Amino acid sequence: MWADSEQHELRDGQADRPRRRATIHDVARLAGVSRQTVSRAVNDKGEIDPVTKERVLEAVRLLDYRPSRFARGMVRKGTVTTGLVIPDLMNPFFPEVAAGVLEAAEQRGWQVVVWDSRTDADREREALDVFSHQADAVIGYFKNDDAELGRLLGGVPLVLLERGPQQTRFGAVGIDVAAGMEQGIAHLVAAGHRRIGLLDGDGLSGPGPRRTAFLDEVRRHGLPVDQGWIVLCSEHSVAGGAAGMSRLLEAHPEVTAVVGFNDLIAIGATRTARRHGLRVPEDLAVLGFDGLSLGELVEPALTTLHIDKRRLGMLAVEQVARLRAGEAPLTGADAWVIPQLVVRASA
């Protein structure tokens, strides 16, 4: 009967390494059954004789058969894959956002492909180019403008992280920076500070919400404003913050408090200040903006505006879900995370 053919296939299978992956058909031939029966065996469906099943499974093992996820995806829908673009995996902020995305995605049975853009616009574009073909939706941080984004991934739903919902034609999930800054500046003012500096991020795409919110609040409290008190940190890292603080200290030693673009920058600032002989917070108060758990480990523990990063990620997934369902995306407070002031020791 099919014994011949099996023998042949057997030899064939182990002779040279298979240049083409075995298909369900190969297995069927080797086991002497039909495709459907093979399918039943590998998918643990019913309607199959245990003996036959074992024989099929043996053939599967022999040929190292694995069903093609493409062919499978073609016929039974449902596998959703979303791309996640992160600017810097070394900054603890982003893994936590990612954790939120992963958790929410898993609950829906979605998969998440992660891409580290390292804050490089070209690498962003690469990611988008790939995802436009391979993903059902994209979540991420982007420096490229809307037009470019739209052009690159034409049609694929996109949810932007940390951009005001108004600023973009895609879905967005953001941080209510203004609300955060309000708490932060109020705290500093209450402590008697009047000359407050800002260690801002790279001002590549204009002032950015942190700076505007900072200026708003400072003005609202009737404090003096000096453009020299705002220094840009090209790197959003401890080193970047340290460098920024050096420049600030040199040019404007009169500031008595600084708020950092993020916790890493604030920590870098603290270290530089101390190295310059300043006591924190007595001589210089430092306020972070992130709420990294790392902040409670440093000396002095960092006072900061804590952001629920996990929630941020989960909200983004929810936005994607709405986009995909054709519903209107969340807006306003529903799509925002509000920072909470956490008072520790540095301010």
- Residue nearer to its own copies on the CB measure, 83 or 184: 83
The least distance separating its own copies from the CB of residue 11, rounded to whole angstroms, comes to: 18
Please tell me the distance from the alpha carbon of residue 341 to that of residue 190, in angstroms, as a whole number: 14
Q: Applying CB under 7 A, does 18 fall inside the site for DNA?
A: no
**Please, which of residues 218-257 interact with its own copies by CB under 8 A?**
238
Residue 95 binding: pick among DNA, its own copies, none (C-beta 5-8 Å cut-off by kind): its own copies
Among 32, 95, 164, 208, binds its own copies (CB under 8 A): 95
Q: Does 96 bind its own copies (CB under 8 A)?
A: yes
Stretch that binds its own copies, among 32-40, 88-96, 160-168, 204-212 (CB under 8 A): 88-96
Task: Please name the helix (run of DSSP H) or strand (run of DSSP E) that holds residue 340, with its range, or none.
Answer: strand 340-342
Q: Rounded to an integer, what distance in angstroms lies between the CA atom of residue 55 and that of residue 49?
A: 10
Nearest CA among 170, 171, 162 for reference residue 87: 162
Residue 297 binds which of its own copies, DNA, none (CB < 5-8 A, kind-dependent): its own copies
Region of 66-74, 168-176, 203-211, 230-238 interacting with DNA (CB under 7 A): 66-74
- Verify binding: residue 307, DNA, rule CB under 7 A: no
Tokens 């020299």 correspond to what residue?
228
Sole binder of DNA in the list 7, 12, 14, 49 (CB under 7 A): 49
Instruction: By CB under 8 A, tell whether 111 contacts its own copies.
Output: yes
Residue with Cβ nearer its own copies (50 or 155): 155
Contacted by 48, from its own copies, DNA, none: CB < 5 to 8 Å by type: DNA
Does residue 134 touch DNA according to CB under 7 A? no
Query: Would you count residue 20 as binding DNA (CB under 7 A)?
Result: yes
Three-state DSSP class for 205?
Answer: coil
Which sign does the torsion angle of CA 131, 135, 140, 143 carry? positive
Site string for its own copies, 115-154 (x = CB under 8 A): xx-------------x--xxx------------------x
Does residue number 39 form part of the binding site for DNA (CB under 7 A)?
yes
Q: Does 65 bind its own copies (CB under 8 A)?
A: yes
Residues 6+ apart with CB under 8 A from 292: 92, 93, 263, 264, 304
Question: SS3 string of 99-161?
Answer: HHHHHHHHHCCCEEEEEECCCCHHHHHHHHHHHHHHCCEEEECCCCCHHHHHHHHCCCCEEEE
Is residue 297 part of the contact set for its own copies (CB under 8 A)?
yes
Give one DSSP letter per residue of 32-61, joined into a string: TS-HHHHHHHHTT-SSS-HHHHHHHHHHHH
Residue 34: name its binding partner from its own copies, DNA, none (Cβ under 5 to 8 Å by kind): DNA
Q: Applying CB under 8 A, does 11 fall inside the site for its own copies?
A: no
Q: Does 47 bind DNA (CB under 7 A)?
A: yes
Asked if 66 interacts with DNA (CB under 7 A), we say yes
The reply to whether omega before 224 is within 30° of 0 (cis) is no
- Judge whether 302 and 286 are in contact, CB under 8 Å: yes
**H or E segment and range at residue 248:** helix 238-251
Tokens standing for residue 133? 């073909």
**Binding residues for DNA, per CB under 7 A?**
20-21, 23-25, 32-39, 42-43, 46-49, 51-53, 65-68, 70-72, 74-76
